[in-house]
Amino acid sequence: RCTCQDQIWSCGYWNPCATTMSGDFGAYPGYTGMLNPRGKVIVRFNAEGTFLLKLRVEGLEANCSNCGVHIHSGTTCTDALAVGPHFWNVNTFGSGPADDPWNKFGYYNSTGTGRSKAVLAGDSGLGYKDNLGRTVVLHSAVSCSHSWT
């Protein structure tokens, strides 16, 4: 089971390549905990704007179940306040936390050694061009509070 003491572990930038984006994870700004997540995320968008998010990371909390991975609205991982909240089309889904489509599909599990290899199918109502330059964040557990602005 995950704990709430280390809510946000890692942040990465997108690098565009056609309709595929990829990023390498590094430490979340200001994170000073014991975890050292490192790895890669790849997102492939289809013509309708839905996507497959592939995650391969190690250095995570061991045996974490339903831990969050989401594209955020920010464009930098150098300032925690600039990472932003989850990124989705509020005109399609609504603007409240309960409307957040990431709450339906943005989760992964880790092994007993803190590794994760996951594939998530999702739809945030935003396509490839909308997501260019955005950050992606790994959270420790869905039971922990997210910072909503």
Closest CA to 69 of 30, 105, 26, 117: 105
Give me the residues paired with residue 67 across strands.
108
More confident residue, 4 or 38: 38
At 16 the pLDDT is 45
At 126 the pLDDT is 93
The Cβ of residue 148 has, within 10 Å, a number of other Cβ atoms equal to 9
**DSSP symbols for 1-14:** ---STT-EEEEEE-
Rounded CA separation 124/89 (Å): 6
Structure tokens at 51: 């996507």
Structure tokens at 83: 């990472």
pTM, entire model: 0.81
Rounded CA separation 55/43 (Å): 9
Instruction: Return the residue matching tokens 């150098």.
Output: 78
Number of H helices, E strands in the chain: 3, 9
pLDDT digits (tens, 9 = 90+) for 4-35: 344 455 565 544 445 888 888 877 888 877 88
